[in-house]
Structure 1
C-alpha cells in the first residue's frame, strides 16, 4: 500500500449507481493511459476508456478524481469539447470532477460518458515534476488505485469512537464490507484525510496499552503504527498533527483533525467522546472498503496515470584549483535526454547527455540537470555541484628553539585542510600529519618542510613546501675587551657597570650554578662570571672578569677646609699690594681626611677646569689675584691616577682695614651708651677681623659692638685675625655726669661735659643752676670744669640743673637740659 509521496498523485472517478433493482449487475470499467507529462501542458487523462454493463446502458453519474499527487489550487480536471447531455462540477477539496445528466434526475448514456471521459484533460499551473494518478468510478467513495480500496467520509456530529466503529462495520459498498479507515501511506492519508469533506474518526487506538498505538480495525488490526506520545516514533507510517498525540485526559482514539487546526488531513488523539463542541468535537468518521475476507472482486473503477521524466541519480565532481570538471546525471528512462543549465530556472541549455564537462572554472559552481522527453523543458532541474577546492596554502609557521639538544614543537597553520610534515623538499611519505609536530631529540639545527592538503581531496595540496626550522641553540659565553676591569670607589660601581659583549648578559658570583646577581649590587674586589642568553638559551660556560676597586679620598667641602693666610710684607718691596707667597701643601693632612698620604698624589691648579697646574706649590707660590684666590686640588690614587677627587680652598693676603666715622654708629646720652662698627659688605676689608676698645692689647672680640660705655673719648682697635695689621679710631660719646664728689680724692672731683668731639666749636657753653634757678656757673663746653664752689665758697650737697648749648662747626645749635648731684 506504499507509494512515493512526492511523485505520485491519483485521480479517482466515481460513478454512482442509482438503479433501484437489487439484482442489477455492476458495470465493469476499463481505462488505459500511462502517459508522459510535460508540466503546465494540458493532457488527456486516458488514451481509451470503456464501460461494459450487461443489463444497463446509462447511469446517473460518473466520478473522476486525482487520487494521488493532488495539489489543491494548482491541479484541476476539465471536460473539453461539446457534450450537450452532460454537466460537470469540480470539487476543489476532493480533487474530484463529477459527470452527470444535464437533466435534473436524468441519466447519462454510457456512450456519452465514454466520449466525455476520453475528452477530460488534466491541467496544472505547477512547473514541478510530479507523478499523478486518476481514478474513474461509478460510486461516490474515493478510490485509491494503489490499495484498490474505497474511502468514504460519513458525517455524524458528536458520534463516539466506539459507535463510529460499529456503524462503519455495518456499512457496505458494492458488497465490500466497511471498517474505520486504517491509514498506512502518504497517499491514503491525502485521499482519506485532505481530500474529504470533514474531520472524523479513524481506526487507531492505544486504549489497550498507553502509548502503543495500533490499528484495531480492518485487515491491519493489531499493527503498531506509533510508540510514545508527542516525541514518539513510528515503525511504518503515521500522520500526527503538531504536538500530537498528547494524551490530554485519557485520549486513546485517533481522529483526523479539523481542517482549521494544523496540517490538513493530520491526526490528533481524543477521548471516546471528544469535546461537545468546537474543533475537537467529532464531526463524523471515515470508512474504508476493501481487503477483508469474503469481499467480492469488483471492476467498478478504473485508473490511469501520468508521469514526468526525472533525474534518478546524479554525481558532482571536485577538483583542486582552476580547471574543468565532468558531471553526470542518470534519467528515469533511456528515452529521456538530459539537458544541462547554469540556473535553476530560465536560460538555454549549455549541454546535453548523461555527462557534462564544464568550462574552465575557478570557483565552485552549481549546474542544473533536467530530464527532457519529447522536447519538454518545463519541470524541476536537479542541482549538481562542480566543486573547485582552493589550493591550500600554509598561512604561517612557527619554529622552535631548544638549548644544546632536545625535542621541539613546531607548528603550521593551513588555509584549509591539514598539514603534512616532511624531512626534505622532495620526500614522499609524511613524517606526521597535523598542525603541531613534536620532533625527536636533536642536537643540531634541523629544517622540516610542510605542505597543506585538503581534507576532502587528497590530491589537492599546496604547490610548494614551506620550511620550518628547529633551532638547536648552543650559546657561547660572552666576550670582553678586558677581563681585568678597574673602578674607583667614588664611582660606587655596580654589576651593571661591568662590560661584556653578548646578548642578555647575566652576572654570577661563581663559575657554575648560583643565581644571577642583582644589577644594582655594588662591585667589590673579586672575580665575577658572565653568561649570555640567545634565543632563550643561556650559555653553559661563563666569562670570568677580575674586578679591582681603587680608593679615593672623600674630600671635605670647600667651606670646611681652612683658608691659608699670609701677611702682605715688604718681601716684594710693597707691603700694601695684596700679594705674598704661600706653601699650598700645609692643608694636605686635612685634605687627606684620614687616608694614607703614601697612597695619593696632590696636584694644584689655579682654575676650576683643572687645566692650569701650579708647578711649585711649596713656599714659592705667589697668589695671582690681589688679596687672595681659590686654589683647586686634585688628589689622585698613586696606582690608578684616573681615580681622583677634586676640591678647593682659599688663600688670602689680608688688606689693611680702613675705618672712619662713617663706619661707626654711636648711641649716647642714654643709660646704656654703645658703639657699633658696621662691617656689612666688607666695609673694613675682605678678611675676617676682630675688635678691641681702649686697649691695643685687647681683649679682642669677633663682635663689632660695645655697650654700657661711659661718656667720653674711646679708641677702637681693628685687626685681621691673622694679626697681620691693625688700625685704630678715636670716637667720642657725649655725656653729662650724673654726680660728682668735690672732695679732692682724685676721682670725680669736678663736673664737666664728656665726649664732646671736634665736630663742636669752642662757642659751646654750659650754664649750671641751683634748684631755685640761680645761675651758679657758666662753663666752656669743650674744656670747662666746675669744682662745686660759688664765689669761692663750697656749695652744699644738692641737685643742680644744667642747660648745654652746643654749637657744631656748621653753626647749628643743640640744647640739652638735665640735672646732676653734688655729693660731699
Structure 2
C-alpha cells in the first residue's frame, strides 16, 4: 500500500463526485493514445487512438473526459464533433470536464458508439498565453482517481451521521473489487484532493479516543499510525493538516473531520464529538471513502493523453560596443526558427537558428518564433541585442604615499576593472575596484582597463602611486591644564603646515585617530603623531596634562573676629581643593598673595577671593564684620540717636534674633524686618536713662553663626 500510496504519476485527475453505489462487476478496460503537437488557433483531437472493452457488458452509462492538467478557465474547451445521435455531450466550463451521456433518457451508450465519439472530441482554446502542456483524463466513472496514490476517493453524503457509523459504512463499501475505508491522508496532495470533494463537514479515519492528544489513523493500511501529538501547538511525526487553532478538544472532541469549505483553511481538519456539532457548519454532511488496500486488483478504467506546444528552450545574444551587428540565437524543442521585428505581425527577418542583425547603435529587441510543419502561430520570444556604451574609469585618483605597499582604488562607469603594469600587458595584476601594490619605493604607474560583459574600454587609464616623503610639521605645547570642575579639555595641533591625519596616544593606547583635535578627561602623559596625505609620519610630540580645580570654601574653613580692636578673618583650613591657591580681600583685581590672614578690618561687608594659580578660576566668600555700640543718646541731635549693630545687613543673614532687655528681664525691643534699630522707646514711650542688655544670635548666608551679648547705656 505504501509503495502505491506514494507512487507519483504524471496524470492528476480532479473529478468531483458526491454519490456512488458500490460496484462489484468486472471493470472495463480503457486505453488511449495521444501525444500530439498543438498548433494555436486550430482544433485537435484529444486522442490518436482509443478503445474500451468490458467482459460482461457492451454498454456504459456515461463517460468522462477532463482537462486534468493545464486547464485555462474559461478559454479552453472540449467539443464533440461529427454525427453521434445516440450521445449527448455535457460541457462544464468551470471544471474543464466533458461528460458523454445517452441522448435518450433511460438508455445506455454502446461501447462502439463511445469509441467513435471519443475519437471525435477535439480541444480548442481562445487563450493567448497558452500553457505549453495540456493533459486529458478519460474514465468510465465519476469516481475521483488520484494517480499520486493510485486510489479512488468518494464523498458519501449522509447528513447527521456519527463518526462511528461512518467508519462502519465506509468499511462495507467496495469499488470494482477495491475495499473501502474511512479515508486517511499522508500528503498535502492527497488532503487537498479529498478536501475539494466535500460539500460540508465530512468524517475521516482519525481519532484520539484511546489517549487524549495522541491522534492516530485507525482505518485502512495506515491504521495505528500516529500523526499528531498535542493540541493546537502540538507536533507531527508525519503529515497533518489541522485548521488554525485545532485540535482543541472542546467538549470532548475526539474525532476528525474535513471542515466545511466556509470554515478556515479549505480542506483542513477539525476535531468534533462522535455526533458532530450543532451549528450548521459543523453538522456532519457525510464522509470520505478511500478505495484501495494492498492486494486489491489493479484497475484500468482510466487513461490519459496530452498535447503540447514546442518551446524555445534557449536564446543568446552578443553584446555590441557602441555600434555594430549582433548575432542572436534561439534553440527550439521542435521545428525551425523565424525571426521578426515585432511581437506580433511585423517583418520576417530570417529563418535560421542564428540571426545576424543589421548595424545598430541602440539596444534593439527581436522576436524568435517556432515554425513547425507550417504552423507558426506559437508565442514569440523576445531576444535583446544589447548595445552598450564603452565603459570608462569615472574615478581613480593618484595616491600619494611614503613608500612600501599602498592601496589604489578606482570606480568604473560599468563592468569590471582589470589592473595592468603596462599599457600593453596581457596579464592582469588583479581584477576589481582595488589593488594593493607590492613594496615600492619609487613613483609607479598602473593601467586600468574596464570590461563590461565583453565591451572593453577604448584605452587604458593610468593611475599613479606617487612617492611623497614630506614630513609633517606642526607645533604642540608641552603642558596643558585640566580643570577638574570643567571635566574635559580640548587639545589641538597648532600651526600645521599641511592637511594631516593625527594619531593621539596615551602610552601605548590610541585614543584618537584621523582628527586634529582630541578631548582629554584625565591627567597624564600624552603624545601625537601627524601623518601626511602620503602616509609619512612626523616625530612623536609629547605633552603633559595636569589637573587643578577652583577652590571650595565654607564657613568651617574660616575664623572671623569682629567687635574687637583688631577685626580679622583667618583662613584656618588651606586645603580648599587640589589646586595651588592665592588670596585677596575685597578687590578681585588687586594684589593676590599666599597670606591667609587679613587683620584690621572695618565693620561692614567684605569679600574674600581665592584664586587658582594655574588658572582654574576664582572662588569667593562673602562675610560681615560687626560692631556692637555700648551706648546711644536718643536726644534728637542725629548723633547716636538709635542703637543698631554696625556692619549688619539683613540681606547677608539667613537667620537673625536680636532682642534688648531692661534690668528686670523685660523685653523692650525685638528686631524685625521693618525695624532693625532701637530708638530707646517702648510702646511709643521714652524709656529712662539706664543700663540695658542685648542678645544677638546671627547666622549668615554661608551658615557662619555668631552669638553676642552685652550691655547698652541709654543716655538722655
After TM superposition, give the deviation of residue 394 of structure 1 in Å. 0.3
Residue 218 and residue 466 in structure 1: after superposition, are their counterparts in 2 closer, same or farther (change >3 A)?
farther
After TM superposition, give the deviation of residue 418 of structure 1 in Å. 3.6
From 455, 458, 465, give the equivalent of 1:463.
458
Matched, 1:319 2:325: no
After TM superposition, give the deviation of residue 146 of structure 1 in Å. 7.0
From 2, 7, 14, give the equivalent of 2:8.
2
Counterpart in the other structure of 1:396: 395
Residue 339 and residue 96 in structure 1: after superposition, are their counterparts in 2 closer, same or farther (change >3 A)?
same
**SS of corresponding position for 2:396:** strand
| Structure of greater relative contact order (alpha carbons < 8 Å, 6+ residues apart) | 2
1:230 and 1:351 mapped to 2: Cα distance? 64
**SS of corresponding position for 1:115:** helix
8 Å CA contact 1:320, 1:389 repeated in 2: yes
Counterpart in the other structure of 2:451: 453
8 Å CA contact 1:318, 1:386 repeated in 2: yes
Residue 308 and residue 141 in structure 1: after superposition, are their counterparts in 2 closer, same or farther (change >3 A)?
same
8 Å CA contact 1:450, 1:468 repeated in 2: yes
Q: TM-score, normalised by structure 1?
A: 0.46
| Structure 2: 5+ residue stretches without partners | 1-6, 473-496, 500-530, 539-716
Counterpart in the other structure of 1:56: 57
2:401 and 2:52 mapped to 1: Cα distance? 97
From 117, 126, 131, give the equivalent of 1:129.
131
After TM superposition, give the deviation of residue 463 of structure 1 in Å. 2.2
Counterpart in the other structure of 2:104: 103
Counterpart in the other structure of 1:430: 428
**SS of corresponding position for 1:271:** strand
Residue 117 and residue 214 in structure 1: after superposition, are their counterparts in 2 closer, same or farther (change >3 A)?
farther
> What is the total number of aligned residue pairs between the two structures?
470
**SS of corresponding position for 1:116:** helix
8 Å CA contact 1:326, 1:356 repeated in 2: yes
Following superposition of structure 1 onto structure 2, how do residues 393-792 of structure 1 map, counting pairs within 5 Å? 393-402=392-401, 405=403, 408-454=406-452, 457=453, 459-473=454-468
> Over residues 443-484 of structure 1, what are the superposed CA-to-partner deviations in whole Å (9 max), with x where a residue is unaligned?
443322222234xx4x5432211112233346699xxxxxxx
Alignment root-mean-square deviation, CA = 5.3
8 Å CA contact 1:391, 1:460 repeated in 2: yes
**SS of corresponding position for 1:267:** coil
8 Å CA contact 1:153, 1:196 repeated in 2: yes
Following superposition of structure 1 onto structure 2, how do residues 192-211 of structure 1 map, counting pairs within 5 Å? 192-194=194-196, 200=202
1:415 and 1:158 mapped to 2: Cα distance? 74
1:201 and 1:216 mapped to 2: Cα distance? 12
Residue 412 and residue 260 in structure 1: after superposition, are their counterparts in 2 closer, same or farther (change >3 A)?
same
After TM superposition, give the deviation of residue 395 of structure 1 in Å. 0.4
**SS of corresponding position for 2:116:** helix
8 Å CA contact 1:215, 1:225 repeated in 2: yes
1:216 and 1:366 mapped to 2: Cα distance? 62
Residue 444 and residue 198 in structure 1: after superposition, are their counterparts in 2 closer, same or farther (change >3 A)?
same
Counterpart in the other structure of 1:307: 307
> Over residues 737-776 of structure 1, what are the superposed CA-to-partner deviations in whole Å (9 max), with x where a residue is unaligned?
xxxxxxxxxxxxxxxxxxxxxxxxxxxxxxxxxxxxxxxx
Residue 407 and residue 89 in structure 1: after superposition, are their counterparts in 2 closer, same or farther (change >3 A)?
closer
After TM superposition, give the deviation of residue 391 of structure 1 in Å. 3.6
Structure with greater Cα Rg: 1
After TM superposition, give the deviation of residue 328 of structure 1 in Å. 4.6
**SS of corresponding position for 1:168:** helix
> Over residues 773-824 of structure 1, what are the superposed CA-to-partner deviations in whole Å (9 max), with x where a residue is unaligned?
xxxxxxxxxxxxxxxxxxxxxxxxxxxxxxxxxxxxxxxxxxxxxxxxxxxx
Counterpart in the other structure of 2:176: 174
After TM superposition, give the deviation of residue 398 of structure 1 in Å. 1.5
> Over residues 148-173 of structure 1, what are the superposed CA-to-partner deviations in whole Å (9 max), with x where a residue is unaligned?
54332323446566765554343211
2:299 and 2:378 mapped to 1: Cα distance? 37
> Over residues 577-599 of structure 1, what are the superposed CA-to-partner deviations in whole Å (9 max), with x where a residue is unaligned?
xxxxxxxxxxxxxxxxxxxxxxx
After TM superposition, give the deviation of residue 297 of structure 1 in Å. 3.5
1:233 and 1:389 mapped to 2: Cα distance? 56
Residue 504 and residue 224 in structure 1: after superposition, are their counterparts in 2 closer, same or farther (change >3 A)?
same
| Structure 1: 5+ residue stretches without partners | 478-502, 506-532, 541-824
1:239 and 1:365 mapped to 2: Cα distance? 53
> Over residues 313-357 of structure 1, what are the superposed CA-to-partner deviations in whole Å (9 max), with x where a residue is unaligned?
324345362555555544445xx3344555666656644454444
After TM superposition, give the deviation of residue 192 of structure 1 in Å. 4.6
Q: TM-score, normalised by structure 2?
A: 0.52
After TM superposition, give the deviation of residue 93 of structure 1 in Å. 4.6
Residue 278 and residue 317 in structure 1: after superposition, are their counterparts in 2 closer, same or farther (change >3 A)?
farther
> Over residues 95-129 of structure 1, what are the superposed CA-to-partner deviations in whole Å (9 max), with x where a residue is unaligned?
33333333333333334333333332333332413
Following superposition of structure 1 onto structure 2, how do residues 777-816 of structure 1 map, counting pairs within 5 Å? none
**SS of corresponding position for 2:78:** strand
After TM superposition, give the deviation of residue 415 of structure 1 in Å. 1.4
After TM superposition, give the deviation of residue 294 of structure 1 in Å. 2.7
